Structure 1
Amino acid sequence: MPRWPVLAAAVVTVVAGLGVRLLWDGPFAKYAGDALYTVLIYLLIVLVLPRVRPVWAALGAAGLSWAIEFAQLWEIPPLLRPLLGSTFNPPDLFWYAVGATVAGAVHLWCRFR
């Protein structure tokens, strides 16, 4: 997949994540942010590995998101907390899977369109 559209999608994802947090509060903003966090990881995987299959990119993004979430069971250094979070929250695992699935589906659709 060409890198420029992936880079543009990553920028849009970051703007969407910041916009959701700015415009909304509560569970919607939190879980939308979780899903978008995983979409960004997905896009970074595709940016680094442009020929990666959508299923592998989705598994990698979900797996990395889950690993970061489980790392929160231990102490995260204060410098990394804004990026990695600090509190383990089991529902986040579901929303990471949603983000990876949606990103993989869009990627697959773009490949076959």
Structure 2
Amino acid sequence: MGCAAAAAGVIGAGLFVHGLAEGPAGDIAGDGLYAVLIYALIACALPRARSVAITVSAALVCAAVEFAQLTGIPHALGQAFPPVHLVLGSGFDPRDLVVYLCAVAVAAALDAGVRSRWTARPEKAEGALPEESAF
């Protein structure tokens, strides 16, 4: 699956969870999908980047967005245009940082698994770029 298709699937799942799930379970699922989306978007933007670079970048972006919520700016932007809350959130929650790290780690593990399967296939190995992200 290409990174754009993966990102679109994650967005769809995130919107589904946002519309359906409520409470802490919905928040955790949404935060996890958000982190996976960030991983996929970075993988799309930097297709030759190594998984570790994508992983660290995704974790840093997620943490930056979460810490930005301490400023109140994302909340104010969301008051003016509510969909901004889906991208920037509205209030700092330290639990989100843990969820982001776990979700990015899962995305990296899935990416590594897909890469290893891709390069293990003899008909693909010759033209494959093992350092290229599977997302």
- TM-score, normalised via structure 1 length: 0.90
Of 13, 33, 38, 1:16 maps to 13
Report what 2:38 is aligned to.
Answer: 41
Alpha-carbon shift at residue 23 of structure 1 (Å): 2.1
Alpha-carbon shift at residue 62 of structure 1 (Å): 0.9
Instruction: Please list every run of at least 4 consecutive aligned residues from structure 1 whose deviation after the TM superposition is greater than 4 angstroms.
Output: none
Report what 2:2 is aligned to.
Answer: 5
Alpha-carbon shift at residue 82 of structure 1 (Å): 3.9
Q: Does the CA-based 8 Å contact 2:42-2:54 persist in structure 1?
A: yes
Q: Does the CA-based 8 Å contact 2:72-2:91 persist in structure 1?
A: no
- TM-score, normalised via structure 2 length: 0.76
Report what 2:24 is aligned to.
Answer: 27
Q: Is residue 109 of structure 2 the alignment partner of residue 105 of structure 1? A: yes
Output the CA distance in 1 between the equivalents of 2:86 and 2:115.
34
Aligned length: 110
Report what 1:63 is aligned to.
Answer: 60
Gaps of 5+ in 2: 118-135
Letter of the structure 1 residue corresponding to residue 109 of structure 2:
A
Output the CA distance in 2 between the equivalents of 1:21 and 1:32.
9
Of 79, 96, 108, 2:100 maps to 96
Q: How well do the aligned residues superpose, as a CA RMSD in angstroms?
A: 1.3
Alpha-carbon shift at residue 72 of structure 1 (Å): 0.7
Gaps of 5+ in 1: none
Output the CA distance in 2 between the equivalents of 1:60 and 1:82.
20
